[in-house]
Amino acid sequence: MAISLYDMSVPTYLQTLGAVSGFLEKGLAHCGECNVQPGEVVEHRLFQDMAPFSFQIRSVAHHSAGAMEALKSGVSNPPGRSEPLDYADLQRLVTDARTRLEALKPDEVNALEGKDVAFQFGETRLPFTAENFILSFSLPNFHFHATTAYDILRSRGVPVGKRDYMGRLRIKR
């Protein structure tokens, strides 16, 4: 059985984005319970040379809904570091990414199969096909940043576990 571009990407993004949304909720609740300002979490880093929580969540949105936009345009760029966002803004980024992905139709995504997509960063240009962009660049980045965001919350004492990270499994019905 062949797997389509849509099937290998959109449902996977949605599963993990649902999980990210859930652990963001738990993180906010934990802040309230522990009398911690959510802004402390937004700027928290696991190590000084790593990007903060806010960048991890931006990257989750960028490497999911943004990746699908890159398939359409043929170009992907790094997420960049735009204006500061608070905790609620980060939650909205995840909600927006989910909404954008839920709006995609399988035929619309599958029509992009085999299309050229390039990741551009300064003078560096990495050429991909749509499938290889998703499988070897977008999904690994997406999961790296989702995991790092989860780990930051764990490091701050938020009571989340593997089931929170896994999200809603796509089990056989």
Please say if the pLDDT value at position 1 is more than 90. no
pLDDT tens, residue by residue, 21-62 = 999 999 999 999 999 999 999 999 999 999 999 999 999 999
CA distance 108 to 146: 26
Query: What is the reported pLDDT for 56?
Result: 96
pLDDT tens, residue by residue, 65-118 = 999 999 999 999 988 767 889 999 999 999 999 999 999 999 999 999 999 999
Please say if the pLDDT value at position 14 is more than 90. yes
Query: What is the reported pLDDT for 2?
Result: 86
Measured torsion, CA atoms of residues 74, 6, 104, 42, in degrees rounded to the nearest 10: -80
Average pLDDT, the chain: 95
pTM of this structure: 0.94
